[in-house]
Structures are given as structure tokens and as C-alpha cells.
Structure 1
């Protein structure tokens, strides 16, 4: 069967990464709504006269058409679909951070339409709102949940409902454990995080009552993300270095 038969037209997508390929082309990684993360070859996209130069930009939605039966497809057409401006200043790092998480944690051609919708929402919020920490925490949790990396925050390790007034012990790949039961854990499971049930309930719902709840959510999502990405998150490291330089 000809590779032309494996054609996808006008698929909603976000550009995650782009790197030079041979003399004038680009190797793209995009996250699409119906096909998940896809590798695309944009032929001649680096030439000055290419119509793709102003379209292949991150953080804003586009429509992509491609063909091919191999893992690396060929981009046939791309169009900007409008929506919002690109993020500026520190918000740019938030956009880079989100893209890095999606790129590193998703598998190629593994569809997650709800994750795509969550990506679209958080990118719009990053671009339009200066205070978007709550949107980032909600996206991190949606990403971890969609990919099967997040614990169920509605019940504890004994199958009992998580209660707002109780304290729990959180570890990667485990349900919340009532803090009273954490004393008997083996040494290799002692690494974890104590959290109030109220903060777990808020993270699950995506509605945060105060800054303290957001800080607790950050501690949990960071622990779970670092467990999955032991090599580190480059965009986070760059931002931390810049902040240290500014305060030095």
C-alpha cells in the first residue's frame, strides 16, 4: 500500500519540539488530538521562502496534515488555527515546561484526546493569565492520571474514603496511606510526603482554596514527576538557574 494512503488531514495539534534535519528540513514532534504524539518531517521548512516558517511555532494550536506509514511521517500542510498569542516572559518557561512533560512522558501514536484538551486549556491559560499556578498543577495531575502514573486520591490504601481531616503518607505507585500506618513501612518505602486529606481532595477536584493547598499539590506532583523523570526536567532547571542569578 502506498504511503500516500496513510493520510491524515486537518488534525488539531500542538508543536512540542522541532530540530534541524539535514540541510533544510525540520524533525517535529507534535501532540495531536486523535493520534497522540507523532513524529513529522517538515521538508524544506527552514528555507526562507517556506510557508511553514511562520506556522510551526509552539504553544498555540495548529491544524496539521501528514502522510506515511513509517514512524516518521511527512508533514503535508500546517495552518495556524488562531486562539491566543504566544506566552511572554516567565510564562514562556511554563509553556516550555508543559511541552517537555508531554514530550518525555507520552508514547508515540498513543491517543489521549482528553489530555490534548487539557493541554489546550493550560496553554491558553499560560498565555492569557499571569497567575497560572493552579492551571499548571491541574494539568500535571491530568497528565499523570491519563498516563496511569497517579494514585487514586479518593480512597486510601485500605479502600477507605480519603477524609479531609486525616493525614496521609504519599509515595510513588501507591495509594494514600493513613499517616498512622506509615511507621511500619520497610526502609525502601520511607521516602514520601505527608499531606492533609483536604489537600488531596482539592488536587483531585482541581479547585484550590489557598496558596498552601497549591504548594502541597506542587510537592506531590513534583515527587511523582521526578520519579518518572529521574534525569530531571530541563525547563525547570533553566528557570531555577535564572531565578538564582537574578537574586544573587
Structure 2
């Protein structure tokens, strides 16, 4: 079996495997998502037990050339991120989204960068929502479903115009005029341009981006609900209502 060098990684999800081992879904810098067996990690004597946790910056060493690899080395590079409340649910949402949609073995260094940035910003209530949208767009880019920030006609997006998004085609322009349905069915050109420029100052841009990424992700997720969205709903109904949703 081939044994690779250490590479940066994050744990997305893990579940028990056999008596003392786990199956781990990892997001790595060099190989994208990797599924790996971590032998004996649930044993009390395992030196990996305390390290193999979500939101802990890791270095991993993997063995094998098949789709399911074996983790043979694990180190932490710094202290883990500790989240609670909405920040925690947002982190779990990001993990679930990547685990569900990203194929194993697909390199995606930009996604790894944006995921790492998200974890650094989740505790900041002002930066949390833009970081989530940036991650979703980065994932869509890795999957080949990111929007092209121009109209289907090949023309640039224009302020003052509205656009409908058609999956597999792109933004279909609607000339300036009376668009009473714009709040639910169309996207304002100036807000799309702001998203493309990574400019999140306007709350309307954040609202538009959330609606757009949800529309883009829905056909990929299918009918199976995200567990993290159920957690958002529970958090919303608690005494502390979240200010940002996934």
C-alpha cells in the first residue's frame, strides 16, 4: 500500500466501525474529501481519541490507494475551535453539506481554504453569514455548479435589472420595470454583482445570496433533509433566536 506524507485536514464526520475503530470523513488540503478507517480510535488507550474531533486543525497521514484509506498518522496543529449555539450549528451545517455533496478524491484546495476561513470566522456574528455563503459558493464551484456571473446572453449583469436563475443555464435577464415578484423569484443585478465581488456590506446582498445558494444546492441535495437544518429550527424556537441561518 502507498503511504502518503502528512497533509492538513479537518474531520467532517465519524461513525463507529467494528468494535473499537471509526470510519472518518476528512476534508484534506491535497486530496479533497477522504474516507478513512481509523483503527482502535475508540479504545481508551488510543492516542488519537482526543484528536479526532470536528473543528480541530489536523495533520493526517493516509495509507492505501483505494477509495477507502487507512489513517496511520494523526497530529493536531493548534487548539481546536470551540463553538456553541448558532456558531456550532453553522459548523455542523458546513460539515454535513460537504460530506453529502463532495465526492471522495476530488482535489479542492480553494474549498479547503474557505472552510478553514469559515471556522476562524464563525465566532464573529458579523462575519459568520458571509463566510457561510462563501463556503457554499466554493463548494458549488468544486462540484461544477457555481453560477457564471453574467447573463445567459453573454452580457454582463446590470444594476437596475432583475434576473431569474434557471438551473443548468444561468441568469435570464428581465428588463427594468415593474417586478412585484422580484422579492421571491428574481435577483437584483446590483446584489448579484456584490456577491460576485465578495462585498457583503449590504444586508440585502446577504439575503439574496442565501436565497441563491439555497436554490443552487437544492437539486444536488434532493429530498433528504439536512439534519443541521432541523437543529437550526430547534435553535430558532428556543429562548435565544438565531440571527443567521444556514
Counterpart contact for 1:193–1:220, Cα < 8 Å: no
So what's the TM-score if we normalise by structure 1? Answer: 0.88
Counterpart contact for 1:24–1:47, Cα < 8 Å: yes
Deviations 1:54-84, CA, capped at 9 Å, x for gaps: 1101123200011112221111111111165
Residue aligning to 1:22: 18
Q: Number of aligned residue pairs: give it.
A: 232
Residue 49 of structure 1 and its aligned partner are, at CA, apart by 1.5
- In structure 1, runs of 5+ residues without a counterpart are 182-191
Counterpart contact for 1:10–1:65, Cα < 8 Å: yes
- In structure 2, runs of 5+ residues without a counterpart are 177-183, 242-246
* Alpha-carbon distance in structure 2 between the residues aligned to 1:78 and 1:200: 42
Residue aligning to 2:165: 170
Is 2:112 the counterpart of 1:120? Answer: no
Counterpart contact for 1:36–1:109, Cα < 8 Å: yes
Residue aligning to 1:60: 56
Match of 2:85 among 89, 98, 102: 89
Is 2:97 the counterpart of 1:104? Answer: no
After superposing the two structures, state which structure 1 stretch, 50-59 or 144-153, moved more: 144-153
Counterpart contact for 2:55–2:80, Cα < 8 Å: no
Match of 2:236 among 225, 230, 243: 243
Residue aligning to 1:40: 36
Residue 133 of structure 1 and its aligned partner are, at CA, apart by 0.7
SS at match of 1:7: coil
Residue 209 of structure 1 and its aligned partner are, at CA, apart by 2.5
* Alpha-carbon distance in structure 2 between the residues aligned to 1:76 and 1:199: 47
Counterpart contact for 1:66–1:75, Cα < 8 Å: yes
C-alpha spacing 1:41/1:166, structure 2 compared with 1 (3 Å)? same
Higher helix proportion:
1
Deviations 1:26-58, CA, capped at 9 Å, x for gaps: 100101111111111111100111111111011
Counterpart contact for 2:21–2:38, Cα < 8 Å: yes
Counterpart contact for 1:65–1:78, Cα < 8 Å: yes
Counterpart contact for 1:31–1:116, Cα < 8 Å: yes
Deviations 1:194-244, CA, capped at 9 Å, x for gaps: 011011111112211311110111011011111210222221122113323
SS at match of 1:70: coil
After superposing the two structures, state which structure 1 stretch, 79-88 or 198-207, moved more: 79-88
* Alpha-carbon distance in structure 1 between the residues aligned to 2:131 and 2:233: 20
Is 2:214 the counterpart of 1:222? Answer: yes
Is 2:234 the counterpart of 1:234? Answer: no
SS at match of 2:192: helix
Residue 246 of structure 1 and its aligned partner are, at CA, apart by 4.4
* Alpha-carbon distance in structure 1 between the residues aligned to 2:56 and 2:159: 38
